[in-house]
Amino acid sequence: MSGRKNLVMGLFSRMTFDQLEKFLGSLRRTTFHGDVCAFVDEVTPETVATLVAHGVLIARAYPSARPELPPLSSRFFDYLEFLACHADEYEHVMLTDLRDVVFQSDPFAVPLPADIVFAQERCLIGAPTANYGWIFDSYGEAVAHNMRDCFVSCAGTTFGTTSGIMRYLVAMTRELRDRQPPFVVGLDQAVHNYIIRMRPLRHAWVDTTDSLVATMHFVRDESVRTTPQGVLIDGGLVPVVHQWDRNKATLDYVWTAPQFKLEAAQRSPRPAPTVSPGVVEPPTIERRDTIVAFYHRPRDTGWLAPFFGSLRCAGFAGGMHCVGAFDADELALLARLGCAAHPVGDAERSMDIENVAHLCISRVLDELAEDATAPPDQVLVLDTVRAGFQRDPFQARTIGLSVFCEGPTRIGESEYNLQRLAMFTALDEARLQQPIISSALLRGSLEVVRAFYRRLFQEFVGRSDVLQVQKVIQGTINKVCHDGDLGFPVIVHTHASEVYFDFWASGLNIDTAHGVRVGGAIPAVVLSGSLGSETMRAIWSSLGLAGAVT
């Protein structure tokens, strides 16, 4: 513990102090130590004086550089300006709505699972709610359609380390500054979800478990139970309840329970705990992010140099490993590029090459795990080298396993994927509505990816014959990822947010003037079937690699 305080801040606009009572009263009853900062707008002097008397820091909410923005969008500029001046004073930050939020415990009592933690609502973006319309109006139909199978994240509560929250605020204000009028009321919500799904931030995570906050608007009544200890959501006592007035049970409970009332004795925040003397930590082993890719000469001739060359030119400084059957020239090329070669024989010649790729990659991961001197940290595995990189593919890494959608198409809309999934599970309506996860690449910690492969290969026990079916492993990956019983989070990334599949139609706007932008996002990885496609030429040109492509 550093001894620095934590910070809770939000917009206090056109409200009276009574509307903050439940928020402040419930927070003061927790072990939270730190500051509450309210950005006030159209608030009476008497209300401001009362806020100050109750230990609330006051900051003035000003119109942003875009004064025509709605106030809920302008608040992110105010938050960023405040932290630019005071970041060194705080350990963690919670950005929050004020009127409809109450606390049941200190949200920072347990270490955060990531540098930035977003709140998830129990509603898909594509559901008939205002969220789809806000994204449609702000970014267009193709982007909204591309995000339709993602759960909505609520912009009303976000948690993080101070540095994480500042990264989030920089992304929000930059994106808000680029929007053009007319502005929809929910512009902040549209931008918030666009950033999460299309321009993901490093060490950011959407909390799928309500471990920090329950956003009540779409929570079913049967999931809610009120007890003397507090509001239980699916049996758990969640630290923060947001939109408590959107659910009849929580509305009645919060309105009457004494723990949500502010008492005179609660005027001052709790002091920060005493910092214990530092403990010397043992030295840590250096762990580097690592790429492991599979090369198949009949399919991938000509791609080795641009694949690994673009990785280095895009700023990746981690380990590179290539698995395949190589000739002398290819081995020499990999050595020059600083890539370790892992030759394989022809033992699995009867199997489909893209299925073989994952078997071989998993063996290499096992070998890397045995290297006690420099085991990899995060790994990105690819069953092909037919790709180019525009930035470090670990820039937006997060917890759990990252998997990547091939596009907005759902499983039920693809006969190819239906056939492969049907080999491993029954195809009910829920399966048909799930997005298609690509088997081409996976990302996560070495331990998580190895555990995923072990679970994946269980599907083939006694059924090795199906490995002869072209890319049947995509069926198992979609089954295992969507089943959700892995013991670690599976983060399904929207098409083009980090990985763009150039060979599938997406409907998204493609800009190749300077590298490749897809729907306004800059994917780290672009997979293509042709070295000379428009998108590949744009990448090679932007990285100065045109001469490496032959």
Over the chain, what is the mean pLDDT? 91
172-190: pLDDT as tens digits: 999 999 998 889 999 999 9
DSSP 113: S
Model pTM? 0.88
Q: Residue 314 pLDDT more than 60?
A: yes
pLDDT at position 1 is 47
Cβ(492)–Cβ(200) below 8 Å: no
Res. 274: pLDDT tops 80: no
Q: Which residues pair with 236 in a beta bridge?
A: 233
CB 242 within 8 A of CB 214: yes
Distance between CA 88 and CA 97 in Å, rounded?
Answer: 23
pLDDT tens digits, 6-53 = 999 999 998 999 999 999 999 999 999 899 999 998 888 898 999 989
Per-residue model confidence (pLDDT) at position 270: 58
Q: State residue 64's pLDDT score.
A: 67
Spell out the residues 6+ positions from residue 100 whose beta carbon is closer than 8 angstroms to its own: 156, 242, 243, 244, 245, 246
Return the closest-CA partner of residue 389 out of 536, 203, 548: 536
**Per-residue pLDDT at 521 exceeds 90:** yes
Residues 37, 373: Cα–Cα separation, whole Å: 47
Domain with CATH 3.90.550.10 in the chain: 5-259, 290-545
Is 66's pLDDT higher than 80?
Answer: no
Write out the CATH class of domain 290-545.
alpha beta
> Residue 337 in contact with residue 308, Cβ under 8 Å?
yes
Distance CA 541, CA 550 (A): 13
Question: For 211-247, how does the pLDDT look when each residue is reduced to its tens digit (9 = 90+)?
Answer: 999 999 999 999 999 999 899 999 999 999 999 999 9
What CATH superfamily classification does 5-259 receive? Spore Coat Polysaccharide Biosynthesis Protein SpsA; Chain A (3.90.550.10)
- Mean pLDDT along residues 321-328: 96
At 45 the pLDDT is 84
Averaged pLDDT, 266-286: 54
Q: What share of the chain is helix, strand, coil (3-state, %, to 5)?
A: 35, 25, 40
Q: Is the pLDDT of residue 511 over 80?
A: yes
Segments of 70-140 assigned E as strands: 90-96, 101-103, 116-124
- Chain centroid, CA 26 distance in Å: 30
User: Rounded to whole angstroms, how far apart are CA atoms 434 and 425?
Assistant: 14
Which amino acid, 326? F
Calculate mean pLDDT across residues 515-527: 94
pLDDT over 70, % of the chain: 93
Residue type, 466: V
Give 362-385 pLDDT, tens digit per residue: 999 999 999 877 789 999 999 999
b vs e for 51-78, b when ≥16 Cβ sit within 10 Å of the residue's Cβ?
Answer: beebebbebebeebebeebebbbbbbbb
pLDDT surpasses 90 at 92: yes
- Please give the pLDDT value at position 141: 97
